[in-house]
């Protein structure tokens, strides 16, 4: 029947107001597929289709939607429907929703929650933005070390159905301080009359709630974890972060870095959901900055106008030199930014980076310099021009390589995002400085 719903079919069903057929078709789809359909529709149709989603799927579909569409749905449906919807959301998904909504709407939703869940949401919202505390869920299973395995199993069966995961069971003392994390497999293999402390090894990895979310990603990746316990400064267990939560954060970070490296101010909504006005605002600011910095390049060319008049062949190699410098800087900065992001490289290793990039820069510079020397020698200008452009290429390569690799480290040292210097901005800086290197060499060689 509706094993797969094509968009034209949806449009036709909506036009014909055949809600019975549409509801039956939606029941055959996964929440992810339904969310894609809802997101592709006009606002009024999106709300109508969402209303037809069965209650057991509505929460999952809602959590897959972009924040602007979530806000639209919440403003168009009745309070009782909203209450049922947000109560079913997991605490971390609910917190993410509240963060993206206007303050007045967030307050309205908080008031619809039962007292305990309202208190829980307010607690999660109290952690710094982008901290692990905003990402964690308090839905986990914890046992005491002096319990028998049999008692622990009864507890797991009772509370496990509401937990985010029961792959790992946490051991806490009376003050709720984390003592250990035990894989469920160890419980299964233990004897029923053993105590929990008999199967503990007192070795666990945890993260504080105030740490940055990226730190949680690094720990999960380093130790190959599926779930990471979250504690406060005293070691009290507050919640857990699962690998699927981290993957969502990683996707957001990658999107943000891609936008920054293209000189676009980051925006949270998808390209499809973003309006033309939003895209304009996010792009025009950086483009204005880059335009102004480009004035330096034109000013440098104007300053060395006499050199161009004396040796017109110098002008032919300007695009090649500045483009090469920009490409080299972009290459080195991309490698360093990625190494910093994955934890492979730290700020303390800056001298190691200088040594390596100097050697790489020399090898690349000589290779490209020889090619450009031959081009100048045989194509335009003769041996002297060939020597100038070849030497300039070596100098620009060295400078671009060092600048591209060290700037991300410097920015990281000062707690700034290294992605902001990538590509367009870095290329523009290298263009200006590369021209100075080129014309200074030309001035010396030609005695201008």
| 19-54 pLDDT per residue, tens | 888 888 888 899 999 998 998 888 888 888 898 898
Q: Kindly state the helix (H) or strand (E) to which residue 142 belongs, with its residue range.
A: strand 142-143
Question: b/e string for 327-351 if b means 16 or more Cβ within 10 A?
Answer: ebbbbbbbbbbebbbeeebeeeebe
- Phi and psi (nearest 5°) for 6? -85, 150
Residue 71 reports pLDDT greater than 90: no
**240, 39 Cβ separation under 8 angstroms:** no
292-301 in b/e form (b: 16+ CB < 10 A) is ebeebbeebb
**Which pLDDT belongs to residue 1?**
42
Cβ neighbours of residue 346 closer than 8 Å, sequence gap 6 or more? 340
What secondary structure does DSSP assign to 417-433, as a single string? -GGGGTTHHHHHHHHHH
pLDDT at residue 119 is higher than 80: no
Confidence of residue 401 (pLDDT cuts 50, 70, 90): very high
User: Domain extents for the chain?
Assistant: 7-127, 142-249, 276-445
CATH 1.10.357.20 matches 276-445: yes
Residue 144 binned pLDDT confidence (cut-offs 50, 70, 90)? very high
177: helix, coil or strand?
A: strand
Considering only residues 96 and 185, tell me which one the structure prediction assigns the higher pLDDT: 185
- Please compute the mean of the pLDDT values over residues 197-216 and round it to a whole number: 93
Report yes or no: 208 and 132 within 8 Å, Cβ to Cβ. yes
CA distance 277 to 274: 8
Burial of 223 from C-beta contacts in 10 A (0-12 / 13-18 / 19+): exposed
Confidence check: pLDDT of 306 > 80: yes
Model pLDDT, residue 180: 97
What pTM, to 2 d.p., does this model score? Answer: 0.57
- E strands along 162-246, which residues? 168-172, 178-183, 207-208, 227-231, 237-242
pLDDT in tens, 257-282: 655 555 455 555 665 666 788 778 77
Residue given tokens 């720990």 in the structure block? 219
Q: What is the largest CA-CA distance in the chain?
A: 95
**Are the beta carbons of 209 and 230 closer than 8 angstroms?**
yes
Q: What pLDDT is stored for residue 359 in this prediction?
A: 93
Is residue 7's pLDDT more than 60? no
Classify residue 168 as left (phi > 0), alpha (psi -120 to 50) or beta.
Answer: beta
The CATH fold assigned to 142-249 is CBS-domain (3.10.580)
Least confident residue range of 248-257, 264-273, 348-357, 414-423: 264-273
Strand partners, 236: 177
Structure confidence at residue 428 (pLDDT):
77
Task: Name which of 261-275, 395-409, 428-442 the model is least confident about.
Answer: 261-275
Residue 434's Cβ-count burial label (10 Å; 0-12, 13-18, 19+) is buried
Domain 7-127: CATH superfamily is MgtE N-terminal domain-like (1.25.60.10)
Q: How many residues does the chain have?
A: 448
Average pLDDT, the chain: 84
DSSP per residue over 324-380, as a string?
A: HHHHHHHHHHHHHHHHHHTTSS-GGGHHHHHHHHHHHHHHHHHHHHHHHHHHHHHHS
Residue 194 confidence class, pLDDT cut points 50, 70, 90: very high
Higher pLDDT, 280 or 238: 238
């Amino acid at each position: 029947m509706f094993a797969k719903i094509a968009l034209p079919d949806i449009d036709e069903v909506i036009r014909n107001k055949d809600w019975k057929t549409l509801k039956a078709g939606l029941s055959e789809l996964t929440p992810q597929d339904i969310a894609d359909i809802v997101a592709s529709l006009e606002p009024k149709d999106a709300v109508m289709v969402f209303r037809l989603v069965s209650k057991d799927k509505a929460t999952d579909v809602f959590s897959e939607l972009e924040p602007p569409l979530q806000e639209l749905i919440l403003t168009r449906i009745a309070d009782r429907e909203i209450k049922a919807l947000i109560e079913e959301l997991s605490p971390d998904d609910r917190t993410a929703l509240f963060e993206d909504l206007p303050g007045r709407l967030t307050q309205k939703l908080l008031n619809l929650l039962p007292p305990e869940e309202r208190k829980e949401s307010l607690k999660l919202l109290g952690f710094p933005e982008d901290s692990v505390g905003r990402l964690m869920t308090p839905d986990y299973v914890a046992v005491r070390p002096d319990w028998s395995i049999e008692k622990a199993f009864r507890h797991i069966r009772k509370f496990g159905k509401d937990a985010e995961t029961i792959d790992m069971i946490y051991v806490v003392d009376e003050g709720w301080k984390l003592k250990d994390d035990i894989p469920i497999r160890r419980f299964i293999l233990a004897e029923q009359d053993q105590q929990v402390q008999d199967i503990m090894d007192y070795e666990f990895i945890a993260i504080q709630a105030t740490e940055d979310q990226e730190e949680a990603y690094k720990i999960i990746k380093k130790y190959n974890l599926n779930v990471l316990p979250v504690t406060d400064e005293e070691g009290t267990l507050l919640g857990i972060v699962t690998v699927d939560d981290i993957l969502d954060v990683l996707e957001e970070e990658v999107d943000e870095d891609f936008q920054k490296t293209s000189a676009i101010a980051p925006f949270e909504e998808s390209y499809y959901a973003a309006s033309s006005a939003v895209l304009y605002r996010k792009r025009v600011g950086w483009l204005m900055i880059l335009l102004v910095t480009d004035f330096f390049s034109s000013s440098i060319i104007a300053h060395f106008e006499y050199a161009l008049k004396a040796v017109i062949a110098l002008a032919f190699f300007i695009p090649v030199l500045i483009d090469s410098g920009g490409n080299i800087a972009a290459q080195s900065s991309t490698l360093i930014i990625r190494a910093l992001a994955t934890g492979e490289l730290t700020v303390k290793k800056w001298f190691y980076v200088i040594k390596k990039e100097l050697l790489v820069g020399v090898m690349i510079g000589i290779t490209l310099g020889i090619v450009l020397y031959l081009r100048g020698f045989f194509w335009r200008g003769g041996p002297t021009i060939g020597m100038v452009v070849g030497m300039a290429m070596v100098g620009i390569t060295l400078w671009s390589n060092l600048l591209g690799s060290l700037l991300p480290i410097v920015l990281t040292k000062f707690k700034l995002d290294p992605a902001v210097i990538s590509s367009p901005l870095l290329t523009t800086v290298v263009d200006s400085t590369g021209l100075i290197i080129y014309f200074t060499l030309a001035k010396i060689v030609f005695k201008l």
